[in-house]
Each structure stands twice: as structure tokens, then as C-alpha cells.
Amino acid sequence: DTGVSQDPRHKITKRGQNVTFRCDPISEHNRLYWYRQTLGQGPEFLTYFQNEAQLEKSRLLSDRFSAERPKGSFSTLEIQRTEQGDSAMYLCASKGRHGDTQYFGPGTRLTVL
Amino acid sequence: DQQVKQNSPSLSVQEGRISILNCDYTNSMFDYFLWYKKYPAEGPTFLISISSIKDKNEDGRFTVFLNKSAKHLSLHIVPSQPGDSAVYFCAASMNYGGSQGNLIFGKGTKLSVKP
């Protein structure tokens, strides 16, 4: 297994459009996290899945954001009615059942025009 | 309110010398600490971690020291190499006691290693 993968790597969209990102975690990692990173900041937690259950959501996750993890494998993060303030790097990380370390994917860079 | 702080935005070191990156935290409930390295337009790459029950962990050229009483940790890189030039993030989490283990990151320190 080659690690966490994310698709697309880059996305440019116009304000008001919907976008969806995909994350494929490391095989058999049951825990999956989404983070967002803006310029000059460290990554900030958005939401967490254990298997298919979404167990925690940050207050950063407005009602325009929704995340899913059907069947406990890959996850999608959708942003509806995008705003310029949504421009950021969206990062996905996964962690194994017995591990303490999160491993990150390459990220999806979103630019909202 | 920043729970994890990296007070040095940048650090410049000569190749072959030691690089010391510092991190302070405020939440005494953190029980696991990690260092990640990040290049532009890429995701963070895990470097090294330490549990709160230890005060030192070593992996090759990288050593992390934890001082719980001071709520301070540091990453030592010896010897520094030009390929180490990147942004380094300190992160902390609460893996036990009912927490989901999400990471709290500092703002990063940009390390430049000059040949």
C-alpha cells in the first residue's frame, strides 16, 4: 500500500459552485480525519470518522460542508455554494486501529474565484 | 487561543550543524506529540513522535525531547542537511480519556539549511 491518496490534487471553481473531494486512506485504517490548512497556519481539524461513523465535527465545519464515509473505506468531503474564504488546502489523514500516528495524504488545493 | 505554539517562524542553519526546533503547549491533557515535515503543495510527512510517558525519542538524525513540567518539546536534527529544508509542524493530541485523537497543530517553523 502506498499511503493515503486524495483526488483531485487541485481544484479551481467559481464562487457558488459545489465541489467534492475524495480521500482513500491506508488499507485497514479504520480512523479517518479531514483537516484544512490556510496560508501561514497549521492544519486545522474539520471532522473525524471511525469506520463509517462520523464521530466528531469541528465548529469550522459549517452547514455548507458535508462529509461521508460509506462502508468505512474512502471518504468524500463536499462543499456547497463555495465562497472565496473556502480557498485552502484540504488534507486527509488516517490512523490504524492500534496506532497513535496519523498519516496524511498529499492534499487537495482548492481555489475559489 | 492557541494550544500549540511554535514561536519561531523561521530558522537558518549551516549544513552539518544541529537544528533545534521548539514547541510549547498549554493543555496538560495532551498525551501524544508529533513532528511533521511539509514541503509546499504537499501533505505533511510524519517524522517522529513521543508519548507523554517518555522524555526522549530518537530515530536516526532526529531526536524529540519532551519536558512535561515546562510543557515544552523540541526536535533536534543532527547533522542538518540541505534536504531538511522545509516547514516543520509540531502537533499534539489526546488519544485517551474519550478524545477522538484529532491533532492540534502549531503554525510551523520554516527551516533553511545552507550548504
Q: Do A31 and B101 touch (CB under 8 A)?
A: yes
Give the pLDDT band (50/70/90) at residue A18. very high
Contact present, B107 and B38 (Cβ < 8 Å):
no
Tell me whether B91 touches chain A (CB under 8 Å): yes
Separation of alpha carbons A37 and A16, rounded Å: 21
Give the pLDDT band (50/70/90) at residue B100. confident
Q: Do A35 and B41 touch (CB under 8 A)?
A: no
Give chain A's length: 113
Q: Is A85 helix (H, G, I), strand (E, B) or coil?
A: helix
Testing the interface with A: which of B51, B102, B110 to mutate, by most A Cβ within 10 A? B102
Q: Do B41 and A107 touch (CB under 8 A)?
A: yes
Contact present, A48 and A67 (Cβ < 8 Å):
no
Contacts of A102 in chain B (CB under 8 A): 34, 46, 101, 103
Read off the C-alpha cell for B15. 549544513
Distances (CA, A) of A15 to A9, A30, A108, A110, B94: 19, 34, 17, 11, 37
Q: Do A33 and B102 touch (CB under 8 A)?
A: yes
Residue B1 in this model has a pLDDT that exceeds 80: no
pLDDT in tens, B80-96: 999 999 999 999 998 76
pLDDT in tens, A72-108: 899 999 999 999 999 999 999 999 887 789 999 999 9
Contacts of A48 in chain B (CB under 8 A): 100-102
Residue B115 in this model has a pLDDT that exceeds 80: yes
Contact present, A90 and A77 (Cβ < 8 Å):
yes
pLDDT in tens, B44-58: 999 999 999 999 999
Q: Do B43 and A33 touch (CB under 8 A)?
A: no
